[in-house]
Homo-oligomer: A and B are copies of this chain.
């Protein structure tokens, strides 16, 4: 038998023991320590939960013994007895993980009741109806939570009782009805389980604690954890607490309150309460709660104590508190306090106010706002009134947040045309492809029938910050006839619909949208963040429009400008295709000569938009077949357009087919086979920089980034082409121009040989999308098919494409950073995968010593804040 302590009385803990006692338990202990009135109890630790799982989902004997000892202590503290007695101790059993997971796990109240104790409670409280109502609620909760008997079966018995009595509300059932109901519930239990309902309070307790441990791994908890980056190995603690009752007369009551307004941040206690009620009654919504201020009239002493304690708690925790309280016959108890959840606007205001009040430092303020929350401030939202009247006609995947309203168009061309006329448009497609880019740019929102969270539409929309609902399968579409149908109704070109990219809802008709007013607090707060952070934040932007947007959001340069996105544009795709089908170097060069002036114009626009901030241009990356059509009809059209033989064109397309295009002929491999592509791109980059530096008096230092490098000689080969071309142009121009050549680290071999690679690379940019694919050996496009099984079985708890895998991929990154710096101590290091916009990944980048992260424009503020938080947590 080991001697480890698994059970802690509230009086034995404190707020710092959150990991062991869970958030709720640690705060109950802290309040106890502060002398704040708390119904006493104890916490079964998270370690006990882990042991429970290790032990084959069974609570071990030593822990049961510690629980029983704590019950004895609690009996002494409360003067009550857990079991048959004139003053029976009733308990609540609640989960409490390290971070709050509201509603995800189970709770059992009124534990300790049985046919005998219920009578004692009835006598003690002189309220038999209350006693029997509590009893039947307990049986019902226990049966549901602990034994998994369907709730509905109990509800049926209640309905039957009400039917027999011909009444409508539960409240109309009297003590006898409830007594009969409790009896009926017990019978139902015995029928379902094959054993009588447990009368022994200790048995009830152990079963309930077991049920809470078990609920840590119920499916909704697992999903919640995945969505909120909570590791499964944390486990939950269980809080066992003496019951207090707010429904023992007019000098009793219950309520919830915040020390500041969670919606606006206003510095004024905000909350509501009900006299003579239990928490459940608030939820049931039969009675309307009163604002907290009214308590001053009802129970002035309690009010004063509450207000004083609330202020004390806020001062103590130095954060806005969310509190639950109960008044039992004139005595105030705090059941819980925690840092309150709040809207983004509120979070900013509270953080700024508390600094101004000198309650916290700027560094502390920085930690009080969730980086992800900032996103909601940057996207349009529906008008709060208007949305209430709107009708949901379908629901898809919430692929890119925000709200959008506009007229339906079915092709990129139409969307673009009508956008140019000043209409607001929604692009509706079966699925989008790179050819739709211009229509997507023009649209307020994008709706696709097929495709998931990582489909083309979803990825591109998130990058642009455009609202998108994807994979809306309940809609049937006829793209040729330009009509879609849902719920029996047809929608044609020009009809209004509205999309909510944060929920996936599609509304029939127009719903007004508003851009949330970003208050001055946002700017003040972000300035603080910028002052603190060491990590620079750049953006991934491929067009002058994106670049400008990103500057507005505080980006200090472009970390990734993907040149292929330019290649897909309508005016250049013919030349791109001409290049691809070229059968000689000369033909290819002719096609590239057509692309050169367009590409140069792109870079001029981007440099100008970036106003002298650095711009990293990545050379052509995707396999060439992505630029050619795959449908028979499109191929035929193309062969006519290009005036080349259909069979020849088909043969070219066939020869470009790849079994695993992700690992195929792409990235710098294209420049190795067709050096003239790298030549043309270098020319465009350098000529544009010379032009802009001269005409705008800027000092652009272009950074040329070679993708998909796995071997130093490969990088050197392409770099030699770049340098030769660049030097020629610069020498001829007679101007001065600095430029850098670097590489993406996105192939494991590049990370493993980064000391070699750094001999040629002046900078590294970690391409964590590909690096994740290669390191895990799974394709992002295909992983959807099996990852759900991995989540269900808790093998992976988060999507490694959203949150960087710090163990495996992170190890490669750390290795590459160390090896790279060994060769070239001043090597410039960044990240340009989508992880650059994920807070925990940004923190990792800070910790391993990168110089910058690059993310999509709308994620820039988030990344700035995450970078500042990382510096506060781990100064460098």
What is the interface of chain A, defined by CB distance below 8 A to chain B?
658-665, 669, 672-673, 708, 710-711, 713-714, 717, 746-749, 752-753, 756, 770, 773-779, 781-782, 785-786, 789-790, 793-796, 805, 807-809, 811-812
Contacts and interface: CB of A to CB of B under 8 A. Distances in A.
Contacts of A770: 777
Nearest to A746: B777
A844 to B, nearest CB: 15
Contacts of A809: 749
A663 B795 CA distance: 18
A785 B774 CA distance: 20
A770 B663 CA distance: 12
A776 B659 CA distance: 16
A717 B779 contact: no
27 contacts: A658-B785, A659-B781, A660-B663, A660-B782, A661-B782, A663-B777, A663-B778, A664-B778, A664-B785, A669-B778, A669-B786, A672-B793, A672-B795, A708-B777, A710-B777, A710-B808, A714-B790, A714-B795, A747-B776, A747-B777, A748-B748, A748-B775, A749-B805, A752-B775, A752-B812, A753-B811, A756-B807
B663 A779 contact: yes
Contacts of A659: 661-662, 779, 781-782
A778 B786 CA distance: 22
Contacts of A776: 710, 747, 749
B748 A663 contact: no
A808 B749 contact: yes
Contact of A774 (B665, B748, B781, B793): B748
Given A711-B796, A782-B658, A808-B753, A790 B672 contact: yes
A846 to B, nearest CB: 22
Contact of A786 (B660, B665, B777): B665
A786 B711 CA distance: 14
Of A660, A672, A714, A794, the most chain B CB neighbours within 10 A belong to A660
A408 to B, nearest CB: 28
Of A669, A746, A812, the most chain B CB neighbours within 10 A belong to A669
Contacts of A747: 775-777
A714 B786 CA distance: 12
Of A661, A777, A809, the most chain B CB neighbours within 10 A belong to A777
A804 to B, nearest CB: 13
Contacts of A779: 658-660, 662-664
Contacts of A789: 669, 672-673
A777 B748 contact: yes
Given A777-B708, A777-B747, A807-B753, A662 B663 contact: yes
Contact of A663 (B672, B782, B790, B805): B782
Given A658-B782, A663-B660, A808 B752 contact: yes
A748 B810 CA distance: 12
Nearest to A770: B777
A805 to B, nearest CB: 8
Contacts of A713: 794-796
Contacts of A808: 710-711, 748-749, 752-753
A665 B787 CA distance: 9
A452 to B, nearest CB: 13
Contacts of A708: 777
A795 B714 CA distance: 6
Nearest to A657: B782
Contacts of A790: 672, 714
Given A663-B778, A713-B795, 17 more contacts: A660-B662, A662-B779, A663-B663, A663-B782, A664-B778, A664-B779, A710-B775, A710-B778, A711-B795, A717-B793, A747-B775, A749-B777, A749-B809, A752-B811, A752-B812, A753-B807, A774-B774
A188 to B, nearest CB: 32
Nearest to A794: B713
A454 to B, nearest CB: 11
A710 B752 CA distance: 18
A711 B783 CA distance: 15
A793 B719 CA distance: 13
Nearest to A662: B660
A790 B793 CA distance: 43
A770 B776 CA distance: 12
A132 B482 CA distance: 88
Contacts of A805: 749
A404 to B, nearest CB: 29
B660 A812 contact: no
Contacts of A786: 665, 669, 672-673
Contacts of A807: 752-753, 756
A539 to B, nearest CB: 26
Contacts of A812: 748, 752
Nearest to A788: B673
Contacts of A717: 793, 795
Of A658, A664, A807, the most chain B CB neighbours within 10 A belong to A664
B777 A777 contact: no
Contacts of A662: 659-660, 663, 779
